[in-house]
Structure 1
Amino acid sequence: MINDTLLSFTAGRDMWSTVAANDVPSAKMADGPMGIASGRVDERDVSILTPSGIALAASWDRALAGVVGALVGGEAKRKGVDMVLAPNLNLARSPNAGRVFEMFGEDPLLAGTLGVAWSRGLQSRRVGSIAKHLVCNDSETQRDRYDAIVDETTLREIYLLPFEMVARAGCAGILTAYNRVNGDYCAQNAPVLTDILRHEWRYGGFTVSDWFGTHAGAESLNAGLDLEMPGPARFMGTKLRDAAADGTVGVNRVEEAVDRIQIAARTWAGGDAGAEPGDRDTILAQAAAAGFTLLRNDGDLLPVAPGSVRQLAVIGPNALAPCFQGGTFAKIALRPDAIPPVEALRARFGAETIVFAPGCPPSPRLPAMPALPARDLGDGCDVGMTVDYFGGHDFSASLLGSETRNTNSLTWFHGMHDLGAFDRNGGIRASGRIMPTVTGMHRLHIGGTGSVRLVVDGRQVFAAEREIPASDVMGALKSGDSDHVEVLLEAGIPVLIEAELRYTPARAHGLWFGLGVPNDAATLLAEAEAIARGADAVLLLVGETADAGVESKDRDTTAIPLDQQELAARVIAANPRTIVAVNVGHAFDTRFATDAAALLAVWYPGEAFGPALAAVVAGDLEPSGRLPVALAASEDQYPALDATPDADGRLPYAEGIGIGYRGMITAGIRPAFAFGEGLGYGRFTYVAATATTRSDHGVDLVVTVRNDGSRDSAAVVQAYRTDGPLAGFAKQVVAAGSTVDIHLVVNPIALRRWSGNRWVFASGPTTLRIGGSSLDLPLSATVAFD
């Protein structure tokens, strides 16, 4: 007989923790990977914000990824977190996928190598790494239910490979994806969770469902899932009592799952994180700069030495309102003193040198709404909204409590903190006073997980009656869609805004709102043109806002917004000495910047964006990144652009192993910029390469590289198989004018193929091509395997 105590370990205790009993501690988890996301998923728990996954991938730097993971581990311990849901090892199959910014690019070897380094760095601080999302959660549209149809070769060689690498390296746990793969939900997919993960990889860590991603109890446990999250149990835990009694689940399987969970709790709960790997601000600035990818630098416009220009024009919405990160549930509450790029540039070059114009406003899906609380609650908070919680839909008689919140996006899981659960009808009202700075039609936004209402100075201006089924609430919460209404406001006349939500029982709820301010687009453009024309050089920062990359929603274009494209055209025409910095988290359309002298991809670089960019422009740091994704010359070049499932919910991975640059190579397509491409501040010549076999069936490569440039610079030596895929890489700084030998190891897994239902390793003569990108491979080396 399996007792309830044993069963209880197979489900979480609460939203973020495992069950504790006797000598087994509870282990607390938190979302990642860019930092430690608040357990409350809100703005109040500020955390370190590191570069996003794609920015770290652009660094091509194992050691750096490990240091960043160690920084996150230290932050976790300070916050009482024992295990972090990270890294994200899904792949950038489509450039329009909503969470590409979290991923380590489009190549499985690059993703797995950096994922292992990050995971080991995290675990070096005695914090467990839970790799996610196993498997094929590579896009967001209908992710809770789509069925990824993937052939065995593609599944194993591409999408499982990063997970295999981090599993074999000893990550604490692996989190299953929401979607299905070849018919089965990932949380109950026995071919993956048992046949491959346990039997083939011999993985000894625990498996855990993504939050609310379990659909059945006995089926999931028997398929290989150890832990259902969050708690309390919905399908597993003591909900398995009947299945245990009738033998549907066996005692051995329950004990196996519980052993893994208890080992993880004993291993990672509590303890000391040890010493920091270095100064936080320095590491984060270096990490951001290491991912900045210089794609064009005509006339060596970069770097711009301070004092060499009379006037540097800084233009663009992202100069003042940058995108530090994406907008998923793993979004980090940013430190309030994070420095935007324009301010960092003023500090580095001098305020008298920098002139600034936004050129056009940011274009978030949900604009901010700076407000003062409607009431003073005596909590010391003098900015934000007064948030009232009600125990029913009648707001006149059921007030449960109030608080002040400085955010325009409110989210709650399970209940309203200590004010009650979401197990009955209730309501929430956020109210605050705003002071319009211009007269005109303002756009008020509102969205939520129920019926919503907007009131301006006591007058209802919008209402929508909705009852969202409990099963759909998470989707509404993740996608963050909103309605809007135009309201005439006058400058200098304060108004009271009230945003209301009335909800029905569900496991989570949210209310979000925003205020779009009118602007004179023609005037903004003219101002930008004028300062560009009068400057010695221009730094134009364009890109996205933080809510461009979200959960449960994919993008529909790789292009930057149209008004920013027009801004770029006008600014570049006014001053060809323009450096365009693109602040996005995915592969992007580069055609808008064709005539710019310099093009720099800065990705989502974390909290040190401003200082890192100023240091790179000034030449204090090198933009040493290389592309972790190919940038197509046009969207039709991408092997998998549209990630929309068909009418039956099926999402065929029809390109097979031809993901990203691999598919382009096979099709003979030349992208605008190749996978692995990037300039840095050096000029490299690849002189010679020698190769020898290793006893583990890998290859040792020695590549001789000369830096013909006038500055020390980081070379990223890349080795590829003759059929296209990346086989190995190494990054090393080479002094100006010097020649060095760079050593890299080709892991045997990079040379194997899945064929005939088994792995076939390289045999006979095997040639590797070596160089600076997937399309710049001047050297080759051949080895012979027995």
Structure 2
Amino acid sequence: MSTPDSIRGLRSAMTLAEKASLMSGANFWNTKPVPRLGIPSIMLTDGPHGLRKQGGAADHLGLNDSLPATCFPPAVALATSWDASLLARVGAALGSEAAAERVSVLLGPGLNIKRNPLAGRNFEYFSEDPLVAGRLAAALIRGIQSRGVAASAKHFAVNSQETHRMSIDEIVDERALHEIYLEGFRIAVAEGDPWTVMSSYNRVNGTYANENVSLLRDVLRTSWGFDGLVVTDWGGNNDRVAGLVAGNALEMPSTDGVTDRVIIAAVESGTIDESVLDDRVEEMLRLIERTAPSPDAPAADLDAHHDLAVEAAENSLVLLRNENGILPLAPESGRIAVIGDFAAVPRYQGSGSSLVNPTRAETALDALRASALDVIGYEPGFARRDRPSARRLRRALRLAARADRVLLFLGLDESAEAEAVDRTHMRLAANQLQLTRELIALNVPIVVVLAGGAPVELPFADEVDAILNSSLAGQGGGRAVVRVLTGQVNPSGKLAESYPLRYADVPSSATFGRTEATSEHRESIYVGYRYFDKAGVSVRYPFGHGLSYTTFAYSDLIVGPAAADITVTNTGEVAGSEVVQLYIEAPDAADERFRAIRELRGFAKVALQPGEIKTVHIEYADHAFDIYDPVSGAWRTIGGEYTVLAAASSRDIRLRASIRVEGQGDLDLASGLEHYRSGHVDRVTDDEFQTLLGRELPPATWQSNRPLTRDDIVAQTKGRGGFASVLYSVIDRSSDVLMLLGRPHAANNTRFALDLPFRSIARMSGGAVNDAMLDALLVMVNGRFWRGARQLFAAWRAHRRARLSE
């Protein structure tokens, strides 16, 4: 084991060029070695819910195949288990597969807050609540790192949308920033001790996250005590020197030495002191030392990991509705018709950088046919990507008419949600809704099995008999679904995000994903249930909701200054597990106070046999009675009479008890902020938001009358005419063509190019494009096509000659 002194000694033996070389990749996935000093290259690769190690052509969007690995349920599903011990076991399995493949850094977990249900990457994130996100991410991190592989908590911070994600400026007030968007990361750092953190692409209040001194130095390191390494997201560097100063050590992927030379020049010119570089180098050396591979690392037990993937899925399925106890199904339930394409071709993971090549994949249809149920037939019922098919509809209705029960598999297909693309609406496909309506008209009992990585509108919810949310259940999800449907497993999942009745009910719905330069978080702290409960907005299913095949009674809530005890009894006839949720109501929060009515401050999952009684001890989360004071820049305890709630969801309150908290006095943060007092933040005005921020709002739109620069994104070529518009159209239409060819992953990820800053074209080209060629391209898109074309050809020839002479 190296010591700090030995790491410093190794660093002091390095030349300036060698130090700079450690600050960026050798290729897409590996860092540079320093052979002279025996410093090895290490490999970083994707893997929030499964190892994505590419053996051939490398990319960051899931377009090219990776080596087979266990595809565990993504974070959207693991979160609904509310089971930290389960996530630690999943993390250990992920770590062991990475170690067996000599991977040093697994790029996950993602734990950004689910601000809006249309965010394209919600399937990779845990929750709308920072306590759930932080606790579960910490458990996954501990598991991964128990195998000597570094986890990477990402994307730090406020990565709330995919639209223009590499340039968007997330405008958020300081209180919401700390209470909502940073708190999960703080918990993950405090309880998980990640060895790396990945900075996000976006700006935060005007500054790129990767260059944000307040975030990376003041908060992450000084306040939270993080002692690991910060790595950029792939292509996420803007100003390399500014990133270095803020605390970013490693830029990925390779820039063919371009930014290494920038660092050397900055040190030699005195722009930065070499000690800044030395700090980053030591962080890199420490990561290399921490993740040194074991020479006898065992092969991963993929069979055992598949069984764990099934178990994780079983614990993550959420029973949303079960009228008249139609579930579980038994052999005597009669003839079962299986309808819906997802039964045979499951959606069990998202797409993009987290796309895993599974070792196997079980389907619900195969598991149903192998069960004791009387399955009389299967029909897909609809075309996968919302194409009309009268024949499929007709055959499905004919099958359903012969059945005593219909199992209807619905969901979001591969084109609906992906990295680099936000959804445009919250509806299921029109052909699925039509099929559902016509099946309901047959008056045959219907059980819906729902797949997808984010909430959807469910206009039929009250007209079907049961709804089981399988979310994205990983490679073992098919077997898990059938085991829950047939009662071999009692569902115990609870929603980790609210399900609105309709998208218009979401406070950010009017602007999310529709802006250009900025994304304004006008709702402030009122995200998810904090908004719905404060504003009194009806929801389809509340945060924390989930049914069971048994019932649980809560009694004897005893509250203390640091924890509460609740007695829970299984009052049903089968064994089951209950997620006990502890909320705290602030004094007068329902009145004109800038506070949520209630906030989750603890939770525990307890397993009970029929008739069994257990007392659950739940400690209050940090800051349970605090708010963040933007004036002092610190948390502040607010005294008063609080109410502790033991609950089965944010709207299923079982017990209440009062507790007196001594604090530092009241804090009036609502002066002149009418809608922040009432919670109706969907009505916030420009003046109110500016008052909350304490500054004027930056321009929300791009300036279309100025020339584009290296810092602008390709999407800004739209509507400029000439070659600029041609470039935009080629990329835009290629996405449409790929979708028609049945390649939704490639189609969605092609749009990644539109949000790419021009500077990244050179940096991510692996040396094929240099800055001179990039500048020529900018001349072309800025209306001087032929001049730029001549410059491009000349720059290409010079670059080619230079590379051939090396």
Q: Report the TM-score, using the length of structure 2 for normalisation.
A: 0.75
Structure 1 residues 603-614: aligned runs within 5 Å = 603-614=471-482
The one of 622, 628, 641 equivalent to 1:748 is 622
Q: Whole-Å Cα distance in 2 between the matches of residues 577 and 360 of structure 1?
A: 19
Residue of structure 1 equivalent to 2:604: 730
Structure 1 residues 130-209: aligned runs within 5 Å = 130-168=152-190, 169-209=192-232
Give the secondary structure class of the aligned counterpart of 2:276.
helix
Q: Whole-Å Cα distance in 2 between the matches of residues 174 and 69 of structure 1?
A: 16
Q: Whole-Å Cα distance in 2 between the matches of residues 94 and 660 of structure 1?
A: 8
CA contact (8 A) 2:504 2:510 kept: no
* Shift, 1:277, TM fit: 11
The one of 251, 269, 273 equivalent to 1:228 is 251
CA contact (8 A) 1:727 1:751 kept: no
Residue of structure 2 equivalent to 1:718: 581
The one of 296, 306, 316 equivalent to 1:291 is 316
Report Cα offsets for 1:78-122 as digits up to 9, x if no partner: 222111110001111110010101100211110001000111111
1:620 aligns with 2:488: yes
Cα pair distance change 1:359/1:286, threshold 3 Å: same
AA aligned to 1:741 is: T
CA contact (8 A) 2:338 2:375 kept: no
Cα pair distance change 1:233/1:254, threshold 3 Å: farther
CA contact (8 A) 1:73 1:273 kept: no
Unaligned 5+ runs, structure 1: 365-518, 694-698
AA aligned to 2:465 is: A
Q: Whole-Å Cα distance in 1 between the matches of residues 651 and 567 of structure 2?
A: 19
The one of 265, 275, 281 equivalent to 1:242 is 265
1:568 aligns with 2:436: yes
AA aligned to 1:608 is: G
1:59 aligns with 2:81: yes
Q: Whole-Å Cα distance in 1 between the matches of residues 501 and 402 of structure 2?
A: 32
Q: Whole-Å Cα distance in 2 between the matches of residues 9 and 748 of structure 1?
A: 37
* Shift, 1:739, TM fit: 2.3
Q: Whole-Å Cα distance in 1 between the matches of residues 509 and 297 of structure 2?
A: 42
- Of Structure 1 and Structure 2, the greater helix share is in 2
Residue of structure 2 equivalent to 1:456: none
Residue of structure 2 equivalent to 1:428: none
Residue of structure 2 equivalent to 1:360: 382
Structure 1 residues 13-52: aligned runs within 5 Å = 13-21=26-34, 22-39=37-54, 40=58, 41=62, 42-52=64-74
Cα pair distance change 1:750/1:30, threshold 3 Å: farther
The one of 305, 323, 332 equivalent to 2:356 is 332
CA contact (8 A) 2:403 2:444 kept: no
Residue of structure 1 equivalent to 2:115: 93
Q: Whole-Å Cα distance in 1 between the matches of residues 193 and 511 of structure 2?
A: 32
* Shift, 1:54, TM fit: 0.7
- Larger RCO (alpha carbons 8 Å, 6+ apart): 1
CA contact (8 A) 2:245 2:276 kept: yes
Report Cα offsets for 1:203-260 as digits up to 9, x if no partner: 1001011011101121111122111111245654343111000111212111110111
Q: Whole-Å Cα distance in 2 between the matches of residues 523 and 2 of structure 1?
A: 71
Deviation larger for 33-42 or 274-283: 274-283
Q: Whole-Å Cα distance in 2 between the matches of residues 91 and 245 of structure 1?
A: 41
Cα pair distance change 1:735/1:28, threshold 3 Å: same
Give the secondary structure class of the aligned counterpart of 1:725.
strand
The one of 774, 779, 782 equivalent to 2:650 is 774
Give the secondary structure class of the aligned counterpart of 1:740.
strand
Report Cα offsets for 1:677-701 as digits up to 9, x if no partner: 11022211211211222xxxxx222
Taking only aligned residues, the RMSD between alpha carbons, in angstroms, comes to 2.0
Q: Whole-Å Cα distance in 2 between the matches of residues 172 and 290 of structure 1?
A: 28
Residue of structure 1 equivalent to 2:340: 316
> Between the two proteins, what is the percent identity of the paired residues?
32
Q: Whole-Å Cα distance in 1 between the matches of residues 15 and 598 of structure 2?
A: 53
Q: Whole-Å Cα distance in 1 between the matches of residues 302 and 570 of structure 2?
A: 30
CA contact (8 A) 1:627 1:677 kept: yes
Give the secondary structure class of the aligned counterpart of 2:439.
helix
* Shift, 1:593, TM fit: 3.0
* Shift, 1:556, TM fit: 1.2
Residue of structure 1 equivalent to 2:797: none
Q: Whole-Å Cα distance in 1 between the matches of residues 447 and 367 of structure 2?
A: 17
Q: Whole-Å Cα distance in 2 between the matches of residues 650 and 731 of structure 1?
A: 40
1:534 aligns with 2:402: yes
Report Cα offsets for 1:588-616 as digits up to 9, x if no partner: 11213321100111101110011111111
Q: Whole-Å Cα distance in 1 between the matches of residues 568 and 358 of structure 2?
A: 41
Q: Whole-Å Cα distance in 2 between the matches of residues 201 and 276 of structure 1?
A: 36
* Shift, 1:354, TM fit: 4.3
Deviation larger for 47-56 or 750-759: 750-759
Cα pair distance change 1:290/1:643, threshold 3 Å: farther
Q: Whole-Å Cα distance in 1 between the matches of residues 642 and 258 of structure 2?
A: 51
CA contact (8 A) 1:140 1:551 kept: yes
Q: Whole-Å Cα distance in 1 between the matches of residues 260 and 560 of structure 2?
A: 53
Report Cα offsets for 1:513-570 as digits up to 9, x if no partner: xxxxxx8822222221222222121110001223322122110111110100111112
The one of 247, 252, 256 equivalent to 2:275 is 252
Give the secondary structure class of the aligned counterpart of 1:778.
strand
Cα pair distance change 1:233/1:691, threshold 3 Å: farther
Q: Whole-Å Cα distance in 1 between the matches of residues 128 and 43 of structure 2?
A: 31
Cα pair distance change 1:540/1:355, threshold 3 Å: same
AA aligned to 1:710 is: E
* Shift, 1:578, TM fit: 1.0
CA contact (8 A) 2:170 2:521 kept: yes
Q: How many residues align?
A: 624
Q: Whole-Å Cα distance in 2 between the matches of residues 247 and 132 of structure 1?
A: 32
CA contact (8 A) 1:216 1:235 kept: no
Cα pair distance change 1:520/1:179, threshold 3 Å: closer
Residue of structure 1 equivalent to 2:369: 346
CA contact (8 A) 1:215 1:235 kept: no
Q: Whole-Å Cα distance in 1 between the matches of residues 303 and 533 of structure 2?
A: 41
AA aligned to 2:310 is: A
The one of 17, 20, 23 equivalent to 1:7 is 20
AA aligned to 1:225 is: N
AA aligned to 2:578 is: A
Give the secondary structure class of the aligned counterpart of 1:243.
helix
* Shift, 1:287, TM fit: 0.8
The one of 751, 760, 781 equivalent to 2:636 is 760
The one of 329, 351, 362 equivalent to 1:304 is 329
The one of 526, 532, 545 equivalent to 1:664 is 532
* Shift, 1:200, TM fit: 1.1
CA contact (8 A) 1:70 1:276 kept: no
Residue of structure 1 equivalent to 2:506: 638
Cα pair distance change 1:156/1:276, threshold 3 Å: farther
Q: Whole-Å Cα distance in 2 between the matches of residues 315 and 278 of structure 1?
A: 30
Q: Report the TM-score, using the length of structure 1 for normalisation.
A: 0.77
1:210 aligns with 2:223: no
Residue of structure 1 equivalent to 2:96: 74
Q: Whole-Å Cα distance in 2 between the matches of residues 49 and 160 of structure 1?
A: 28
Cα pair distance change 1:712/1:761, threshold 3 Å: same
AA aligned to 2:358 is: L
